[in-house]
A and B are shown apart, each in its own frame.
Chain A
């Protein structure tokens, strides 16, 4: 199923040359074959998916398909609540947690007929950039099994790249959709904050969390976004704006459009091959008639420190509810209430969650709040304003996704700061709230995918997807597009 797209399979279902059950069977075979090695899922749902595929097949026979996603196998990152299906956030704390409700995005996807094939592995609580921080084992990169798939939505990106499912729903707080998409050579979109409902997404950094798709192509991503975007009365931060038909706007010419280029991005420690890849992208766009304009994002360099103040602050508050009393891991023995809190949380939460809780608790404490959290919020405003100003003169900004390609498993686990720097080009966009697309633009000498990032104006996913699709069309025939994963 690798390298096939939703568009292609949708057409085949319509033409009755393939059935949803056949598609599911092929994906399931991939899972059976690869999953022991890959570990892209925490939970696989053979029974449920079989049933859903059968129902979808009936609808196809009757000509009553619910959407273009009807009958398409989907993985859901295990941070989204799924009614009646275990939802762990890849943490032991929620090992036996079975929600009684669906996340809005899960409901929208399944209501559209997509077949949920399993719950994708990720870093516990979405804390990480490599999935090494999952309590259910690391997910491996399908292009090189000794390397990480990125994170935190590493299971989602790896599963799509390996053909275990056609798309996956991920979450992106500091780069968690875009960076693994980049590492695994697939397409991932972080929509504008407020474009897709967060209801039912186990919160990490509530003011930063975005829900978005990971798929093989920009076209597929556009289709999925049409289904999942829109106001949700259960999420007060979701905006009540009309949802455009993204898939219709992909073919617009970008001639005369202006692309922002940030020189500073290429000056500090960025891998040479990535610089070259981005310069090549620049040439492709130039050949399509777009103009490059040099822009400055003067405060972008503060995005990592700012992000690592705001995000842990919100994490420390969001993880407070996991106290072992109402659900989740509860210590077997305790002396009293406080001791029970201590033990349940000590046993259930891993080192990275504890690190972020401590950081966040510290920066919110009386006497430190102004110096850290408040200051970070002020700089966040400056970063936002940088983007607003830049978008006065450009339609879109081109940027790298990550400073490196996929790194070795174990390479950064003992150095949290190094791991945090993986977010250097992505976290700034979460701070500003803009939409951003990550898509493959080259392979390095080690045959690892290199990603590029297209950042758009608030709520202009349309433009971002248009630019992504135009690039894909223009590079349809390049050699690396024929590269195959090793699994």
Chain B
């Protein structure tokens, strides 16, 4: 039996979060907008209007190109892709796949410990189309052109992936890069990141690619793996039965859990591409319009580098470092909280100790609460200064760890700081030896039985007595102080 190898290439679309649209000054943020509110004669394609490219969008494509080690093309030219559809006001989409701004590049992915380079073929810039709404009742469709003209990146990979899982990991890594560069929200569920997958099979060892099938509009991470897995199996079955795979476009049907044929190669549109005459070609190195020094200065530390640094600098576990860097804002929150703590700069050992504490806190408390509330760190009411203050109080015994968690819960709900909550509730830890002594003396008097047990050598009784003191203080006594004084007093009994 012939063994087949799976070959996967992706075409990814990511909406850029520039302030204005790709070719006009309309607001590019339409989440809260009424239909067609963010439109103007230009993005409506009214007669005589002209597109003027958004410089920021072009700079951001170059930024991504540099981040992915791509080559900046000497000449970049927009072109027209002509077709009729009600969501496309000009009857052509302005795109740039023929002379794209960035050629080549790579993303390093890790699957089960194996590191692999996924090559990028090119990255180009284009405009998004509008949206059609088909009301359930009524024989009409509605057009919303708020999205028309939104800048879109298209990232085209080489057919370098060999398994559905690799495609998912690639997409996750790419999402992280787009977010770290702060150029796209890259949220698949919200549609600002989506991809098409080209899938083919070939006998192991064969060089030529098999017939490819394109799965359109994959819009969730779950779907990437499932849709590709299904498609691989479907093709495998066909080949197993000595049938041919037909080159076509297929769509993923979530409810049926399968891909369905949409259009074959013969039915494909002829888009009649030609260079966009309304926009002069850009020669980025001509020096006038694009400042690459400035763009290079924008290049941030990406997730993989940051995660490695967290491991080296703070001695965090790989797992913790990955969690903290999974979200750029979260990684910033972690480092900012750490920097707020006193003594942090004294020496590396102290820094590592404190980093571990902050990391544990953020992962077990902050993230747990965020996940429960279903919000992200940027919506968290507890800012890094307030968190640092709380942790510092716990560190210095002003409050117990248990109380700290309770206080945090309230901070998370109300946005108040720890000082306000401690004052309002009288939660300050009792470290005053005099006050503690009075309580312990009382406990000893009231629990002569356990005291005798302890003296008879039953260590367990000590724990019981500590518990009684803590209960009397309503949890506010400093356990360390209680421990010492109780020992002391019992010895004197």
A interface list, Cβ under 8 A from B: 79-81, 87, 89, 94, 97, 99-101, 103, 198-203, 205-207, 233-237, 313-314, 316-317, 320-321, 323, 325-327, 337, 341, 361, 364-366, 369, 373
Asked whether, in the complex, the Cβ of B48 is within 8 Å of the Cβ of A203, the reply is: yes
Contact yes or no, B272 A236, CB < 8 A: no
Which of B44, B46, B274 has the most A CB atoms < 10 Å from its CB? B274
> Which of B80-88, B121-129, B383-391, B428-436 lies at the binding interface?
B80-88
Annotate B432-468 by CB proximity to A: 1 below 8 A, 0 otherwise: 0000000000000000000000000000000000000
Does B257 sit within 8 A of A, measured CB to CB? no
Whether the Cβ atoms of B47 and A87 lie closer than 8 Å is: yes
Q: How far is the CB of A101 from chain B (nearest CB, A)?
A: 5
Report the 4 A-B pairs with minimum CB-CB distance, sorted nearest first: A320-B91, A207-B277, A364-B272, A206-B277
A234 touches B52 (CB 8 A): yes
24 pairs of residues in contact across A and B, judged by CB atoms under 8 Å: A81-B46, A81-B47, A87-B47, A198-B50, A199-B48, A200-B49, A201-B48, A203-B48, A203-B278, A206-B278, A235-B50, A235-B278, A237-B277, A237-B279, A316-B272, A317-B82, A317-B91, A320-B91, A325-B86, A337-B86, A361-B272, A364-B82, A364-B272, A369-B272
Minimum CB–CB distance for B244 against chain A, Å:
24
Q: How far is the CA of A200 from the CA of B86 in the complex (A)?
A: 22
Cβ of A349 to closest chain B Cβ, rounded Å:
13
A237 near B48: Cβ-Cβ < 8 Å: no
**Dominant SS among interface residues on chain B:** loop
Q: Determine if B47 and A323 form an interchain contact, defined as CB atoms under 8 angstroms apart.
A: no
Residue of A nearest to B78 (CB): A236
Q: Are A236 and B52 in contact (CB under 8 A)?
A: yes
B binding-site residues for A, Cβ under 8 Å: 41, 44-53, 80, 82, 84, 86, 89-92, 143, 270, 272-274, 277-280
Which of the residues B49, B84, B270, B280 comes within 8 Å of A365, measured between beta carbons?
B270
Given known pairs A235-B50, A236-B52, A237-B279, the reply for A321 and B45 (CB within 8 Å) is yes
A414 to B263, CA, bound (A): 42
Q: A99's contact among B46, B51, B272, by CB below 8 Å, is which?
A: B46
Q: Which residues of B contact A337 (CB under 8 A)?
A: 86
**Least Cβ–Cβ distance between B50 and chain A, in angstroms:** 5
CB B87 to nearest CB in A, in angstroms, measures 10
Residues in B with CB closer than 8 Å to A89 are 47
Q: Which of B45, B47, B80 has the most CB of A within 10 A?
A: B47
**CB atoms of A320 and B280 under 8 A apart:** no
A321 CB contact (under 8 Å) in B52, B53, B89: B89
Docked CA distance A237–B282 (Å)? 12
In the assembled complex, the Cα of A176 lies from the Cα of B80 at a distance in Å of: 26
Nearest CB in chain B: distance from A253 CB, A: 37
A233 to B45, CA, bound (A): 17
- For A235, give the chain B residue with the smallest CB separation: B50
Contacts of A235 in B (CB 8 A): 50, 52, 278
Given known contacts A364-B82, A373-B274, is B47 in contact with A321 (CB within 8 Å)? yes
Chain B residues with Cβ under 8 A from A314's Cβ? 274, 277
A97 to B277, CA, bound (A): 25
